Amino acid sequence: MVFFYHVHVVEYFGGRVGDTLNYAFAVGNTGVSFFFILSGFVLAWSSPPGSRGIVKFWRRRFARVYPLHLVTLGFALLMAYCLAAGNKPLERPLLANIFLVQSWVHDENFFQGLNPVSWSLACEAFFYFLFPLLIRPLRALGWRGAAVLALASVVAVLSLPTLVDHYVHPVDAIWAIYYFPLARVPEFLLGIALAELVREGRWRGPGLTVSVGLTLAGYFLSSQADYAYRFTACTLVGFAALIAAAAQADLRGEPSPWRGKLSVKLGEISFAFYMVHILVIRTGETLWRSHPKLPWWPGGLLAAGTAFAVSLALAWALHVCVENPGRKLLLRSWGRKKRAHA
């Protein structure tokens, strides 16, 4: 969804195919909402009850995301100096990007500078800070506390567009509702609440088939909705139901398209794919020309297919050569320091 959203943004395709792509993927960036909900779910699911060690959790999260962020940031800097003359990054946005705080600043040079997709990592960094502080008190409240949190999160997400429409200047609206980390916290909290409800056997949502239907309905409703409602409000219920239904299908051993070897492998490299794909697309745009609007055959298809294939190949290489060894190296070095102080 996010890949074809960016293909749509740079307009590789012109004519009717471009119009079709616009209709199908103009709201593909709602995939980020799915990622935020899933992130909360996975973190809560993989955190055993009674687990401790807040600093250890933060270290593991840092080791998980930062090596890849740093390397793709290096790619973005290389592109800025080699492919986009006159568009050099400023010092403050660069520092904000390095420290993953760029989405807190209402300035497009910050939250969309360098590797544009890294804005979501600034949100995730904030989520990682919150998670160990919230999970134990939430579990102390039991499944009812998780149910209340889920309901409150849904209400917050559905109410936010109305609040933004009434109280935020239209120029500031997209940052306030899409990029600002505090605005995305309810999606993350919803994922945590869903994991706790599924873990306790209290989730009573629909199965996979109905959840897929709700997801598709919400997705295409987004393209018809007013601007402020497009990013999260229309897709929230479908995404939440789909994630919980997929987890329950795994627990019950029911058929699921996401348990095959290929699906698992693609899932493992998906973070690297996300982090590198916009850089590949932008490079292609530079080589062709800005917003080329190519005929679908062979130009548009060749450009998009090449961008996808190169992104996938780079994602695999980054996963194998950067993501995994970087995480292991950081965790091993911290482990040595801990033993040295013992």
Token pair 């995730």 is found at 124
The predicted model gives 284-307 an average pLDDT of 79
Show the DSSP H helices in 108-235 as ranges: 108-111, 119-140, 142-167, 170-174, 181-199, 208-222
Q: Collect all residues with Cβ–Cβ distance below 8 Å to 62 and sequence separation of at least 6.
A: 330
pLDDT tens digit string along 75-84? Answer: 999 988 887 6
Query: Does residue 341 lie in a domain region?
Result: no
pLDDT tens digit sequence for 195-243: 999 999 999 999 999 999 999 999 999 988 888 888 999 999 999 999 9
Q: What are phi and psi of 311, to 5 degrees?
A: -60, -40
Tokens 């800025």 label which residue?
A: 80
Give the chain's domain count: 1
Supply the pLDDT for residue 84: 60
Can you tell me the mean pLDDT for 181-189?
97
Contacts of 277 (CB under 8 A, 6+ apart): 2, 3, 6, 117, 307, 308, 311, 315
Which of 76, 193, 174 has its CA nearest to residue 134? 193
Beta-carbon count within 10 A of 220 CB = 14
342, part of any domain: no
Query: CA-to-CA distance for 101 and 80, rounded, in angstroms?
Result: 20
Which of 45-54, 58-67, 88-97, 104-113 is least confident?
A: 45-54
- E strand or H helix that includes residue 302: helix 301-318
CA distances from 133 to 70, 74, 128, 257 (A): 27, 32, 9, 34
For residue 245, what are its two tokens? 């239904």
Contact 10, 286 (CB under 8 A): no
Residue 87: predicted pLDDT? 67
* SS3 label, residue 320: helix
Please check the confidence at residue 161 and state whether its pLDDT lies above 80.
yes
How far is 294 from 15, CA to CA, in rounded Å? 8
The answer to whether position 249 is within a domain reads yes
Q: How far, in Å, CA of 234 to CA of 238, rounded?
A: 8
DSSP state, 117? G
At 294, is the secondary structure helix, strand, or coil? strand
Contact criterion met (CB below 8 Å) for 214 and 241: yes
Range of the domain at 37: 2-336
60: nearest Cα among 163, 132, 11, 140: 132
Closest CA to 114 of 140, 87, 136, 152: 87
Residues in the chain: 342
Mean pLDDT of 123-151: 95
Is 237 inside a domain boundary? Answer: yes
Eight-class DSSP state of 342: -
Residue 185 contacts residue 127 (beta carbons within 8 Å): yes
- Residue 260 clears pLDDT 90, i.e. is over it: no
In this structure, of 7-16, 149-158, 199-208, 322-331, the range with the lowest mean pLDDT score is 7-16
Residue 132 counted as domain residue: yes
Helix, strand, coil share of the chain (percent; to 5): 80, 0, 20
Radius of gyration of the chain (CA): 21
Section 110-137 average pLDDT: 95
Classify residue 314: in a domain, yes or no. Answer: yes
DSSP state of 106: S
Indicate whether 281 pLDDT > 60: yes
